[in-house]
């Protein structure tokens, strides 16, 4: 499966950490890349790219000013658009249908999601109907899509690799 994430409406400085977390979670949990829309923020792109460089894998972080242009471009390439929102249909009820697709664009919102996004999405999907975090919603959604297998994923060409320990820290590489 090909899977990209689109982060809507990034705002410079205010959203730096949340948007960076979205990118790192997308990478760690098996997405192929993330597209940021909203403000152009080189520092977020660099934070995410730096992690990819050190920790391996093929993950793209890119910018597209217009979220709508990004959505339509992916649609044209045959991607199914899943918009994560607390107002959508429960993930546990929609995941079977979504998993059958082989190209997904997963959209995660910022503070204000434009009304049109709900219409452009093929699926509006909720991870609980409670207010919480786009980072957590993205993590649980990816875990459901990949059926937990993303946790065993290897990252090619990693300069740094953690060796899991019951106590303490062990990193191979530099």
Burial class (CB in 10 A: 0-12, 13-18, 19+), 152: exposed
Q: Among 42, 148, 156, 174, which residue interacts with a second copy (rule: CB under 8 A)?
A: 148
Stretch in the footprint of a second copy (CB under 8 A) among 31-39, 66-74, 89-97, 99-107 = 89-97
| Site membership for a second copy, residue 150 (CB under 8 A) | yes
d(CA 80, CA 6): 12
Stretch in the footprint of a second copy (CB under 8 A) among 36-44, 70-78, 83-91, 102-110 = 83-91
Q: Among 42, 152, 156, 174, which residue interacts with a second copy (rule: CB under 8 A)?
A: 152
DSSP line for 77-129? TTPEEEEEEEEEEEHHHHHHHHHT-SEEEEEE--SS--HHHHHH-SEEEESSS
- The residue among 66 and 118 lying less far from a second copy, judged by its C-beta, is 118
- The residue among 12 and 136 lying less far from a second copy, judged by its C-beta, is 136
d(CA 35, CA 93): 27
d(CA 56, CA 150): 15
| Site membership for a second copy, residue 13 (CB under 8 A) | no
Q: Among 4, 109, 124, 146, which residue interacts with a second copy (rule: CB under 8 A)?
A: 124
Q: Count of residues for the chain? A: 174
How near is the Cβ of 67 to a second copy at its closest, in Å?
Answer: 18
The angle, 0 to 180 degrees and rounded to 10, between the axes of the packed helices 16-28 and 134-145 is 10
Q: Among 62, 151, 157, 173, which residue interacts with a second copy (rule: CB under 8 A)?
A: 151
Residues of this chain that bind a second copy (CB under 8 A): 17-18, 21, 24-25, 27-29, 51, 55, 86-92, 118-119, 123-124, 126-133, 135-140, 143, 148, 150-153, 155, 161-162, 164-171
């Amino acid at each position: 499966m090909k899977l990209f994430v689109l982060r809507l409406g990034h705002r410079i400085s205010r959203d730096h950490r949340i948007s960076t977390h979205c990118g790192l979670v997308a990478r760690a949990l098996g997405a192929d890349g993330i597209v940021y829309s909203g403000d152009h923020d080189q520092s977020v792109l660099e934070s995410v790219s730096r992690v990819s460089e050190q920790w391996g894998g093929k993950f793209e972080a890119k910018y597209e000013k217009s979220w709508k242009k990004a959505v339509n471009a992916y649609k044209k390439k045959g991607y199914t658009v899943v918009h994560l929102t607390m107002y959508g249909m429960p993930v546990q009820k929609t995941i079977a249908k979504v998993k059958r697709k082989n190209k997904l664009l997963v959209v995660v919102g910022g503070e204000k999601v434009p009304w049109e996004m709900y219409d452009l999405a093929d699926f509006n999907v909720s991870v609980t109907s409670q207010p919480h975090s786009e980072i957590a919603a993205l993590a649980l959604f990816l875990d459901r899509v990949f059926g937990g297998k993303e946790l065993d994923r290897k990252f090619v060409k990693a300069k740094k690799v953690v060796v899991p320990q019951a106590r303490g820290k062990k990193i191979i590489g530099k």
